[in-house]
Amino acid sequence: MKLPWKLPGKDRMSDLLRQYRYVLIVAAAGLALLLWPAGDGPGEQSPEPAGGLTGAEEDFSVEALEEKLARALSQVEGAGEVSVILTVEQGMERVLASDRTAEQGGDTTSLEEQTVIISTGAGEEAVLITQRYPTFQGALVVCPGGDDPAVQLVLTRAMAALTGLGTDRITVCKGS
């Protein structure tokens, strides 16, 4: 009596390859994607706006984010047309590097502060030390399906994931 797990080496390998062929294909495709070059090699540079900021960072606005969230949440089944209102605890803040010079002449002291500017291939730009994005205080989501508990749960979880707010700071209401 021969047991199936005690097949000779060649037959066992062909059976295993046949049985797990889809797993092996997916693993090979994943490995190929991991090894694929990203495109930002040493000779290539992606263009950056002045100040080293990307377009999303430069043009951040709460209103645009509200519209984007509303479009995304409107795709939730049962929600309908969604309106989003975000309240901001603290606005966006950019801290630029500065050079301070103090001059003392007689009884007076003058303090002069200048923003540090560096020359790049694209021109001149201010040196950005840090950038703090707005901190959200709360969110209101209004939609026709807002009275359905399942829709409320999905919308609340989505808003929490996208804004970093706790679920206790998100309200979902039924609208017309």
Query: Per residue in 114-142, pLDDT tens?
Result: 777 777 777 777 777 777 777 888 999 99
pLDDT confidence of residue 22: 85
pLDDT confidence of residue 150: 93
Amino acid in the structure at residue 77: E
DSSP assignments along 37-82, one per residue:
--S--TT------GGG--HHHHT--HHHHHHHHHHHHTTSTTT-S-
Give the residue-averaged pLDDT of 154-165.
92
Confidence of residue 38 (pLDDT cuts 50, 70, 90): low
- Inform me whether the pLDDT recorded for 24 exceeds 60: yes
- Inform me whether the pLDDT recorded for 96 exceeds 50: yes
User: Average pLDDT, whole number, for the chain?
Assistant: 77
- Inform me whether the pLDDT recorded for 101 exceeds 70: yes
Query: In terms of pLDDT, which residue wins out, 58 or 102?
Result: 102
The sign one gets for the Cα dihedral 120, 126, 129, 133 is negative
Kindly state the percentage of the chain with pLDDT values over 70.
80
Kindly state the percentage of the chain with pLDDT values over 90.
28
pLDDT confidence of residue 156: 94
Min mean pLDDT across 6-15, 45-54, 149-158 is at: 45-54
- Cα end-to-end distance, the chain, whole Å: 73
Give the contacts of 47 (CB within 8 A, at least 6 positions apart).
none
Q: Cα–Cα–Cα angle for 88, 89, 94, nearest 5°?
A: 85
